[in-house]
Chains A and B, each alone.
Chain A
Amino acid sequence: MEEDFQPEYGPKWSDQRVERMLGALVVFIVGLLLAMIVVVLLHGLPSFLHNGLSWFGAGGEVDAQFQAIYLSGQSGTSDYVWTFHAWPLIWSTILITFISVFLALFISLFISVFLVEFAPAWMTRILQPVVYFLASVPSVIYGLLGVLILVPFIGNHLITEPEKASVAGVISLTGYGLLTAVTILTIMISPLMISIFSDGLRSVKPGWVEGSLALGVNRWRTTWKIAVRAARPAIVAGTVLAVARALGESVMLAMISGSTGFAPNPLDGLIFVFEPSRPLAATIVENVDALSSHPANATLFAIASLLLYSAAVCSFGGYLARRSMRKYGAA
């Protein structure tokens, strides 16, 4: 191989091989993602164009509208029905996602503060792997727990006959509803938040905490004012991930949320928490067979593009929030 050697100036090809290949891989993945977004938007566009802004509004029964859209695509002619008012689905997504993330935020923050700052070492050693494990349990298992345990409990013990009779004919209060969905979703996203929060709390510079303790500030105040504040970027990151997971959760919510295109109304009083609804992602799962009908296909892709858009807004918001927290010393 001696004769192959040629002195060269600049980096040799063999030195650049890895970075070129990795670069190509990144370009490929980014291109694939962009192509995916464009395809979803293009497929969904007809539904948005025919409905305009009223697509996002309320009006009529969303399930009946979708049925009409689906059947018009199967009739063989091309006079399609497009009318679709997605508000009940959007409202359901907002309710379920934000209530769950709000509850999970507090639960997870206190649990991770306890795990990192207060729990004895042996307990952290046991609990931390359990939390990591729970964060990776497939959502359909949580859905099964909901169907087999929580739904019959709520349906047979918490909901009373007069409450059911008061909404008879409009919706069924059977245990499949907001309360079940929020409870299970909170349980599902909490481990994810705890694992990110506790990693963040652990990477707080020890000097800051020790300095505070040395000044005579008590342990709780030090934790709350120094450690949790310094870990805020991690808290934002964990919350953004949790919102994204809650937004995109489909199978589990399709199983327990009640599967009705109904917008739960807080003015109904206590039964509000039992009212069924169906978020956007679950709507796609429950209607995949309708993809063969052209207008139904466009409507489902319109729902998908709304979900993509929300996920993008959510991660961009998280990025902005973290940028303004650079001074706390985290990435």
Chain B
Amino acid sequence: MKMKTLAITALATLGLAVPASAGAKTTLIGSGSVAAQPVLQALFKAYEKNVNKNVKFLYTPDGGNAGIKDVQSGTSQFAGQARTPLPSDAGTTYIKLYLDGLCMDVNPKNSLKNISIESLHDIYRGLITNWSQVGGSNLTTTIDPVGRDTNGGTYTFFLQAVLNNEPPASNVNALTADGLVVNAVKQDPNAIGYAGLAWQKKGIKAVKVNGVACEPKKISVEPLKYPLSRYIFIVLPTTNPSPAVEKFVDWARKSPEAGEIINKAGGVAAFNKKAKK
């Protein structure tokens, strides 16, 4: 008898609990830049989990131009975009979300101070293989180029900013995390690698690119002087943008949590308040 009562009570509680928890979720649809995808996905995940549990994001990385068209036609509520606005983007509003910025790092034993984008391209395409072919280095050894696997946001940015979307050569060692890239440069005097500002610490040396130092003020203060930096935009329709998306953009641009997520995912937070420590 007792068991039966218990079972009925349990069932009744379950029956009450289920409809209460199954609130309808709003799905926000976006599309656009492939380069912005890793950072955007990280932001979406945190927003869905910590800020607004009733929102779900669906992002199709179909390329920046396609994303703008989706916003213009109304199939997407927002788009990720890595280039600056063009006249053909009528009816859309660009909002600066964060910055892409990559430092080129070498081992401190390498006396290299400055490297040009052309040299970087040739190194990562396997055309230059010895440090003696790069001006300004004391080394005469074979270059060990290090990069990320295709999962990295930094990989996509490097591909677009330096390699003109050509795949890196087979002699580029693709590691699975930014931290492993930094570690490889630290351990190998002949290595060169790329990593975001957040990784610039002891044991590696950031070199100037085209004569401009990789420093926060050069990357995050306008005008952008550093060659390996650019804004990543979020694009909304100018008329009747979705309030839920605007709330998300506001959070992603301003909150310190979002800033940390952006930095961790390979971007550079431009507007977010610093987290209190």
Contacts and interface: CB of A to CB of B under 8 A. Distances in A.
Given A74-B61, A259-B176, A168 B150 contact: no
A136 interface: no
A283 B66 CA distance: 29
B126 A76 contact: no
Given A164-B141, A287-B151, A289-B38, A155 B188 contact: yes
Interface stretch (B80-88, B164-172, B197-205): B164-172
Given A61-B170, A76-B63, A172-B171, A70 B126 contact: no
B149 A74 contact: no
A230 to B, nearest CB: 44
Contacts of B190: 164, 174
A288 interface: yes
B191 interface: yes
Contacts of B184: 151, 174, 176
Contacts of B146: 174
Contacts of A288: 151
Given A76-B66, A285-B176, A169 B150 contact: no
Contact of A63 (B126, B170, B180, B188): B170
A291 B175 CA distance: 19
B173 interface: yes
Contact of B127 (A64, A164, A169): A169
Q: Max chain A CB contacts within 10 Å: which of B61, B63, B129, B174? A: B174
Contacts of B191: 174
7 contacts: A74-B62, A76-B66, A147-B180, A164-B141, A167-B171, A169-B169, A169-B171
Q: When A and B form their complex, which 7 residue pairs have the shortest distance between CB atoms, in order from nearest?
A: A168-B129, A286-B149, A164-B142, A152-B187, A289-B151, A259-B174, A169-B126
Interface of A: 61, 63-64, 66-67, 70, 74-76, 147-148, 151-152, 155-156, 161, 164-165, 167-172, 174-176, 251, 254-255, 258-262, 276, 285-290, 292
Interface of B: 34, 37-38, 60-63, 66, 126-127, 129-130, 141-146, 149-151, 167, 169-176, 180, 183-184, 187-191
